[in-house]
Amino acid sequence: MQFDKLTLYRSYDLHTPDIPERSVLYFLEPINVGAIECESLISYLIRLAEVHCVTPDKLIKHKIYPFFWGHDDLSGSCKGIVGRTFTNRSHIKLLNFSGWYTSKLVESLEILTLRSDLTCLTMMHWHELITYVYLLRDCKAWCPLCYSYWHQNKLPIYEPLLWSFEPVAVCPQHHYPLITQCPHCNHKLPIIAPNSRTGYCNHCGEWLGNLDKYHIKSDELYHSEIALQSELIKILGSLIAFNTKVFESENGSNHPISVDRKVLRSQPPLPPSSFHEKLYTL
Ligand SMILES: [Zn+2]
Ligand SMILES: [Zn+2]
């Protein structure tokens, strides 16, 4: 019979597949989390802007600040706010450390990227143990040898959290003094500027890993400093590296550490009026 010659094919599965939640911004992985060379939060923010081909001020204005303010765009009544964000160094430098703004920035970036480990790029876990007074730099510091090495080896260019501490004067990798002035234009560089790019001067736009521009030499003074510096770097570096253990303990791992992230994040927000005022001068 003709009916017997019909072929039976497998039926289609018409169920809608489970599609994982999509992040608004790229799921960019922070660098060296769990090591003393761990990236800083500001560095992550700058790299995140870079991978989206925008400047940090655009990313902050259009994607991050709405989480602070609770509406979608600041282009109207809040015009000019982004420029003022980058003028107060004393507030900006705290973003790599701790405080309400740091918590809010971490929270915003974690919502946008769907990452959950960005507290490890700050010192939020340790704010009750150490004070930021005299600890944080007002401007950028960098090791040109690190920049040069990463560039030559096609590694991502970033800013380790350790470089943001004022007492840290030498690079733990190269034992070379951290630089705080652009060798091209002699400007000091802010922690973050509207047009910041990791590894480049925001004033003249030149590459900061060009070793020909630095007077790199073996200096006895540096060698005597290294012994003092190594102890300091060991202490700060171990806190930075230990951030991951705290993070794991908060997320169900067996590490016996009791740091309540919710408590750390629950510093009372400023009342609307003063919050508005502080954000303008942030
Ligand atoms: Zn270095
Ligand atoms: Zn410059």
For residue 214, what are the contacts with CB-CB under 8 A and spacing of at least 6? 144, 179, 183
> Averaged over 22-35, what is the pLDDT?
94
Amino acid 207: pLDDT: 97
Amino acid 101: pLDDT: 82
pLDDT tier for residue 71 given thresholds of 50, 70 and 90 = low
Q: Which ligand does the CA of 189 lie closest to?
A: 2
- Taking each helix axis from N to C end, the angle separating 100-113 and 41-51, rounded to the nearest 10 degrees, works out to 30
> In the chain, what percentage of residues exceed pLDDT 90?
44
> Averaged over 85-101, what is the pLDDT?
77
- Å from CA of 206 to ligand 2 middle: 6
If you average pLDDT over each of 123-132, 141-150, 206-215, which comes out highest?
141-150
Among 4-8, 31-35, 39-43, 80-84, whose mean pLDDT is lowest?
80-84
Q: What is the mean pLDDT of the chain?
A: 80
- Å from CA of 47 to ligand 2 middle: 19
pLDDT tier for residue 246 given thresholds of 50, 70 and 90 = confident
Distance (Å, rounded) from C-alpha 33 to C-alpha 118? 9
- Å from CA of 109 to ligand 1 middle: 28
Give yes or no for residue 266 having a pLDDT over 50: no
Amino acid 219: pLDDT: 58
Other Cβ atoms within 10 Å of 16 Cβ, number: 6
Give yes or no for residue 282 having a pLDDT over 50: no
- What ipTM goes with this model? 0.98
Distance (Å, rounded) from C-alpha 257 to C-alpha 71? 37
Q: What is the 3-state secondary structure (H, E, C) of 81-143?
A: HHHHHCCCHHHHHHHHCCCHHHHHHHHHHHHHHCCCCHHHHCCHHHCCCCCCCCCECCECCEC
Q: Which ligand does the CA of 200 lie closest to?
A: 2
Amino acid 244: pLDDT: 83
Give yes or no for residue 130 having a pLDDT over 90: no
Q: Which ligand does the CA of 211 lie closest to?
A: 1
Q: Exposed/middle/buried for 37, CB within 10 Å: 0-12, 13-18, 19+?
A: buried
Domain boundaries defined on the chain:
41-251
Q: Which ligand does the CA of 176 lie closest to?
A: 1
Chain segment 173-222, per-residue pLDDT in tens: 888 889 999 999 999 999 999 999 999 999 999 999 998 888 766 555 56
- Å from CA of 196 to ligand 2 middle: 12
Q: Which ligand does the CA of 141 lie closest to?
A: 1
Other Cβ atoms within 10 Å of 7 Cβ, number: 4
Distance (Å, rounded) from C-alpha 127 to C-alpha 150? 31
Helix (H) / strand (E) element for 21: namely: none
